[in-house]
Amino acid sequence: MKIVIIDSNNLIHKVPDFRKMFNENPESAQLALVESVKTKVNRNYRLIFVFDGFGRVKKNCVEYSGNKKADDVIRKYIEDNYMTKTLCIVSSDAEIKRLAKICGCEVMNSEAFWKEINPSSLKNKNINQLLYKDGEKPDRISKKELDEFKKYFT
């Protein structure tokens, strides 16, 4: 199982909607980020969201750095686990990315990660357009099908 470690404050500040929410209510932005990413990333990945400071979001995938910087927590996790686990580091911090590359981890910029899980081709589409491929769902019902439907349900 691949472990994806997300420099979460970094990601929040790269996404305008989350940045605005963070300025108004940091905990709401943190929770919204966690839920948004979790719904879009394959369940075969273990997500670890690392936030700076202290917080009240209680999820098993959320870690707060406390009195340290989130970068220090991520750095320690990389150093302790790169030999035994497959890691992907999501951060725009140059030092973290450099260490992760040296340790053989997969590295992704925060912006690239967000674009990958939010492809622009999905924007402005409703759920039916996302679930049904072209031609899979008929545009309209035929008169014969309508009569059949009425026969059973009226």
pLDDT of residue 130: 57
SS (H, E, C) the chain: CEEEEEEHHHHHCCCHHHHHHHHHCHHHHHHHHHHHHHHHCCCCEEEEEEECCCCCCCCCCEEECCCCCHHHHHHHHHHHHCCCCCEEEECCCHHHHHHHHHCCCEEECHHHHHHHHCCHHHCCCCHHHHHCCCCCCCCCCCHHHHHHHHHHHC
Note the pLDDT tens digit of each residue in 96-107: 999 999 999 999
154, part of any domain: no
The answer as to whether 134 is a domain residue is: no
Q: Note down the domain range covering 61.
A: 2-120
pLDDT per residue over 113-136, tens digit each? Answer: 999 998 765 566 665 665 555 555
Could you tell me if residue 55 is inside a domain?
Answer: yes
Phi, psi angles (nearest 5°) of residue 77: -65, -40
Predicted pLDDT of residue 119: 79
Cβ-based neighbour number of residue 76 at 10 Å:
11
1-14: average pLDDT: 94
CA-to-CA dists, residue 101 to 14, 23, 89, angstroms: 21, 32, 9
User: What predicted TM-score, i.e. pTM, was given to this entire model?
Assistant: 0.75
Whether 141 is covered by a domain: the verdict is no
Residue 127 lies in a domain: no
CA distance 19 to 109: 17
Whether 146 is covered by a domain: the verdict is no
Residue at 76 is within a domain = yes
What are 26-61's pLDDT values in tens digits? 999 999 999 999 999 988 899 999 999 998 888 889
The structural domain count of the chain equals 1
CATH at 42: 3.40.50
With respect to residue 11, please indicate whether it lies within any of the assigned structural domains: yes
Query: Using one digit for the tens of pLDDT, what is the confidence trace for 11-21?
Result: 999 999 999 99
- Amino acid 124: pLDDT: 63
